[in-house]
Amino acid sequence: MQDYIMEIKNLKKYFKLKENIFSKAKYVRAVDDVTFSVPRGSTYAVVGESGSGKTTLGRTILRLIDASAGEIIMDNKNVLDLSKKEFMEYRRKMQMVFQDPYNSLHPKKLVKTIIGEGMKIHFKGIKETEIRKRIAEVLNEVGLREEHMFRYPHEFSGGQRQRIAFARAIILNPNFIVLDEPTSALDVSVQAMVLKMLKDIKKREDLSYLFITHDLSVVDYLADHVAVMYLGEIVEKGPKSKVFNNPAHPYTELLLNSNPIPDPFTDRERIEVKGEVPNPINPPSGCRFHTRCRYAENICSEKKPEEEIVSEEHTNRCHFSLV
Ligand code: SF4
């Protein structure tokens, strides 16, 4: 039987908009009834365009923002039901690395303070010498040196800052890390090195990742499983090889088609994209993708497609599955 580090069930995050005396309350359904499970030791990628809800999903899972409904099961407990005190232990196990290494590190704090402050919170009474020893270990693990702990973030390049952010995440020995576009602000050559570091540490420390990105090349390199999000919903999910080799949903097909091919001598037919991403306050009826889908028929705007099994672990939501 598959061992999951985390199971997300029917998770919702709605943001209420300012009410007006002339109209009913309106909501942005940023995450709408999302269900998936992350196998232990795997990298689970969540992909989609900006505005798909993937960053909100990551933040809701870590309880950085409150969920509107649903369950997040870890160690047979729903982490959404835990009290603040009970959640502290889970917070240690679940860490996050943010997209922007320039804003996510406090500019006036030494690296040792940035990396070590989590230890002071989670291990009350721990000796300064022990914290220093552990900081030196994690700096080494992310490819930096012990003496770097006495410098400030501005003394580092973007790639090194992201290594510091990662050191801060792993110092508490977590087993699950949400990585929100961790390489998108970096130069391509630096991206490759940071991605390799993430892959190596994951293997060494037996970590599981939830990897949020719009970049399918990164998913191809790092992920084992992938979920495709569109306007707050997961439209297709499954093992990466199945989703990438046999995309069943027209939106997945479109994303894969727009991903650049590294070989200049390989040509492929471009799929024309219709229209803009609709307003999430008032998403299209039926299938939310119908306003942009080249296969859309009348039923698509009338009836929401159910999730259907394509093959083992591979599911899709479309009235006219491509597979
Ligand atoms: Fe396109 Fe219809 Fe499938 Fe939606 S349900 S993706 S509109 S074919």
Domains of the chain: residue spans and CATH = 4-223 (3.40.50.300)
- Per the model's pLDDT, the better-predicted residue between 99 and 152 turns out to be 152
Taking the model in full, what pTM does it have?
Answer: 0.93
Q: Give the separation between CA 80 and CA 275, rounded to whole angstroms.
A: 37
Within 6 Å (CB) of ligand 1, which residues are found? 249-250, 287, 289-290, 293, 295-296, 300, 305, 318-320
Q: Using the structure block, give the residue that is written with the tokens 């130069």.
A: 187
Mean pLDDT across 248-263? 86
User: Does 90 score more than 80 pLDDT?
Assistant: yes
Mean pLDDT across 66-86? 94
Q: Give the separation between CA 244 and CA 252, rounded to whole angstroms.
A: 8
For a mutational test of ligand 1's pocket, the pick from 229, 287, 292, 302, i.e. the residue with the most ligand atoms closer than 8 A to its C-beta, is 287
User: Does 228 score more than 90 pLDDT?
Assistant: yes
- Which pLDDT does position 251 carry in this prediction? 96
| Element spanning 10, H or E | strand 4-16
What whole-number percentage of the chain has pLDDT above 90?
A: 75
Residue 20 confidence class, pLDDT cut points 50, 70, 90: confident
Q: Give the separation between CA 210 and CA 55, rounded to whole angstroms.
A: 11
Mean pLDDT across 137-152? 95
CA dihedral (20, 10, 209, 48) positive or negative: negative
CA–centroid distance, 259 to ligand 1, in Å, is 21
Query: 3-class SS at 203?
Result: helix
Query: 3-class SS at 89?
Result: helix
> Which of 13-17, 42-46, 275-279, 281-285 is least confident?
275-279
Ligand 1 atom having least distance to the Cα of 300: 2
Bridge partners (DSSP) of residue 31 are: 13
